[in-house]
Amino acid sequence: LPREDTVLAIVLAGQRSGWIGGEESFDLYDGKGVIEAIVGRVFAQSPELVAGDVPSFLHPKRSAVVTLASRTVGVVGEVHPDVADALGLIGRVIYAELDVRSLHALSEELGPAQARGLPRFPAVARDIAMLVRDRFSAGEIARALQDASGGLAESVKLFDLYRGDQIPDGHRSLAFRVTYRDPEETLTDKRVDKVHASLARLASDRFEATIR
């Protein structure tokens, strides 16, 4: 008998409020945010987006494989324009799929997410944008930035990816939001500036990035 997998499918279409006003179409990172919200309810770690084989109905350059604990658990991406046209879909459409069987197996292996106490001290968020070669994955860069922060980076999230005008072939522009927090004391701007500058140097040295 053919195997029939149980999956959770997510579709985002239409417009959302833009970062600086107005309306914008949903994109890959909106899909990523929905996946993180769902998976974060069950697991103590966040999923990652990595390059890999995705269904042919997704855009090859605007899609990714979803992994958790180094296991493939789904896909997310923009529906290929040719497919959208054939189906009569208007505008950009984002599709995500999570494999329920794989998530269930991981939940038994890793256990449920543990509740954490509320932080006592405020976080400080800083952005870092860079031009990098395609051979370096966003996930690889994010992990390196977090590892090099001396434990101060609570999270490193990719929030923008751009290819197009003024971007050289074989490159893309990535923008990360780094959230800093010290669980023992309030961070000063001077301390955050020093760590943030060191992360920019690391990106430049290890990933040949041009900081923007």
Q: pLDDT (tens digit, 9 = 90+) per residue, 80-114?
A: 999 999 999 888 899 999 999 999 888 888 776 66
What residue ranges of the chain are covered by domains with CATH 3.30.930.10?
7-110
Count each helix (H run) and each strand (E run) in the chain, helices first.
5, 11
Tokens of 205: 């040295």
CA max distance for the chain:
63
On average, the pLDDT of the chain sits at: 87
pTM of the model: 0.64
- Domain 7-110 in CATH 3.40.50.150? The answer is no
Beta bridge partners of 48: 67
% of the chain beyond a pLDDT of 70: 94
List pLDDT tens digits, range 135-162.
888 878 988 999 999 999 998 888 887 7
Over residues 27-43, the mean pLDDT reads 84
Cβ neighbourhood burial of 27 (10 Å; 0-12, 13-18, 19+): middle
In the CATH scheme, what is the code of domain 124-211?
3.30.70.380
